[in-house]
Amino acid sequence: MLDPVIDPDRIDHHNRPLESRLAAGVEHLAGELDVAGHTSADQVIDALTEFSVAAPSWAVGTGGTRFGRFPLGGEPRTTEEKVDDVAALHTLTGSNDSISLHVPWDDPPDPAALRRHAAERGIRFDAMNSNTFQDNPSTTDDGRLTYKFGSLANTDPAVRRVAVDHNKYVIDLGVALGSTALTVWLADGINHPGQADHRDQFERVADGLRQIHDHLPADWLMYTEHKPYEPAFYATVNQDWGSSLLLAQAAGEKASCLVDLGHHLPNANIEQIVSRLAMVDRLGGFHFNDSKYGDDDLTSGSIKPFQLFLIFGELIRAGDGRLPSLAYMIDQSHNIKDPLEDLIQSTDAICIAYAQALVVDRAALAAAQIDNDAAGAQQVLQNAFRTDVRPLVAEARRRVGAAIDPMGAYRAVGYRAAAIERRGSTTVATGL
C-alpha cells in the first residue's frame, strides 16, 4: 500500500464475509421503504455516495484539554502525514475526500508539492482556517505583537493589521492548494466585565472581516463562526448566530455563517438556528461534533443523535428535498480515542443522520403541519429516526469501494500500529 494509506484490496478482503448479510439488510429495508412509498433505498444510497464531510487537519492528532493531553502515538508529524491519515480515513468511509487546514499549524513550505501529495491520495482541500488565537512568530510580527487581548478586535491597530494580513495569507495559501473557502473563528472576547467595549469590539471585527472579504477571489466563500464562550469567559465578540449574521452581512456578499454544534448556550435549539440562517440565505456550513456541557468536541452523534437528525431535516427542508451545497466539516477533539476511530464513528453517525432525514415522509409531514396534527407530525419524524438505516449507509460505502464495517476494517489492517512504527510513539501533531 501507499504507506501508510490503506490498500483497497484489504478493504475488499474485509468486506467479503459481510456482504451477504448486508445484502439481506438492504433488501429488507428496501422492501419496507417501498411499502411506505415516499423514498426508495436507491435514492438514499445514491445521495450518500455523493456526500462527503471534510476532516480537520488538527483532529488527526490526539486532542487535549487545559488539564492535559495523552498522545497515543503515531501522530502525523507534517501536513503531508495528516493528508495521509485523511486518505486512509476516506479509503475506509468513502465520505471524507477532503481536509481542512489550520494555518499556521499547517504552513506548508511548498504548497504545490502538498497539493500534489494530496491529489495522489484523492484528497482535496476544503475550507482554510486562520489561527489568530495563539501567538506564533509568523502571525505576530516575529513575536513583537500578541493576540493576548484579541486579534481583529484588538485596540491596537498594529495587531489588527497582522491579523488581517494573516487571513489574507491564508487565502493566498488556499488558492495555491485549490481550496475555495475561508473559515474565520475568532477567540476575540473578554474575561472581565468592562475589559472592552462590546460595540467597539464588534465594529473593529466587522471592519477586519470586510478587509479580509475584499481579498477573497471571485469564486471563494468566507464563513463567520460564532461561539458563546471559551477561551473568553465573559463575552465573545461573535457570541451567537445573531452576531454572526451581522458580521457576515458587514463583511460582504461572499460571507455566510458557519454553525459549530458545540458553540451554543445550554438548551439552544440549533436546528431552528439552521432554519433561520438558511431563510436569510446566510447559512454557510457546519462544524460537526457533539457535546453534553459546552464545546466538548465529542464524537458527532454520540450524545444527541436525534438533534443531528433534526438538523439534517432542516437542511433537506432548506434544499427542498436535497442537501444544500454547503461546507460540511468535522471539528472534534479526540482526547482519549484513536482520532481515526473517532472520525470513522463521526462520519458514520453523520451519514446515518443524513439517511434518516432522507427517509422522512415529507408530504405526510407537511400535511400534518397544515392540520396542526402535532402527534401525527411527531410520528412521521420518529418513523424516520427509528428506521435502522445502517444497511443503506454501509451499502453506499460498499458501492464506492469503501468498507462495509470501517471500524472493523481499520482495526484489522493495523493502521495505528503501522503509523507508530513509521512515525514513532511520541510524535505530537499540531492542534489543540
Report the site for a second copy in 127-166 (rule: CB under 8 A): 133-135, 146-149, 155
For residues 54-83, which are near a second copy according to CB under 8 A? 64-68, 70
Mutual angle of helices 19-36 and 390-399, in 10-degree steps:
120
R_g (Cα) of the chain, nearest Å? 22
Among 252, 306, 414, 418, interactor with a second copy by CB under 8 A: 306
Q: How far is the CB of 251 from a second copy (least distance, A)?
A: 15
Q: Which residues contact 105 (CB under 8 A, 6 or more apart)?
A: 57, 58, 131, 430, 431
Residue carrying C-alpha cell 505576530? 140
When asked if residue 380 is in the footprint of a second copy (CB under 8 A), the reply is yes
Joined together, the cell numbers standing for residue 279 give 431563510
Q: Binding pattern to a second copy, positions 3-22, x when CB under 8 A?
A: ------------------x-
Residue carrying C-alpha cell 487546514? 101
When asked if residue 46 is in the footprint of a second copy (CB under 8 A), the reply is no
Instruction: Please state whether 430 falls in left (phi above 0), alpha (psi between -120 and 50) or beta.
Output: beta
When asked if residue 260 is in the footprint of a second copy (CB under 8 A), the reply is no
Q: In angstroms, rounded to a whole number, what is the distance separating the alpha carbons of residues 97 and 17? A: 26
The neighbour count for residue 2, using CB atoms within 10 Å, is: 12
Among 118, 261, 359, 377, interactor with a second copy by CB under 8 A: 377
Q: Tell me, what amino acid is at 285?
A: G
Q: Tell me, what amino acid is at 323?
A: L
Among 17, 138, 158, 191, interactor with a second copy by CB under 8 A: 191
Among 2, 112, 158, 280, interactor with a second copy by CB under 8 A: 280
Q: How far is the CB of 223 from a second copy (least distance, A)?
A: 17
When asked if residue 2 is in the footprint of a second copy (CB under 8 A), the reply is no
Decide if 299 contacts 345 (C-beta within 8 A): yes
For residues 314-353, which are near a second copy according to CB under 8 A? 314, 317-318, 333, 335-338, 341-342, 345, 349, 352
In 3D, which of 187, 209, 311, 208 has the Cα closest to residue 254?
209
Mutual angle of helices 41-50 and 19-36, in 10-degree steps:
120
Choose between 138 and 155: whose C-beta lies nearer to a second copy: 155
Choose between 138 and 272: whose C-beta lies nearer to a second copy: 272
Element (H, E) at 184: strand 181-185
When asked if residue 168 is in the footprint of a second copy (CB under 8 A), the reply is no
For residues 92-121, which are near a second copy according to CB under 8 A? none
When asked if residue 34 is in the footprint of a second copy (CB under 8 A), the reply is no
Among 7, 12, 16, 28, interactor with a second copy by CB under 8 A: 28
Choose between 216 and 340: whose C-beta lies nearer to a second copy: 340
Q: How far is the CB of 225 from a second copy (least distance, A)?
A: 14
When asked if residue 245 is in the footprint of a second copy (CB under 8 A), the reply is yes
Decide if 194 contacts 228 (C-beta within 8 A): no
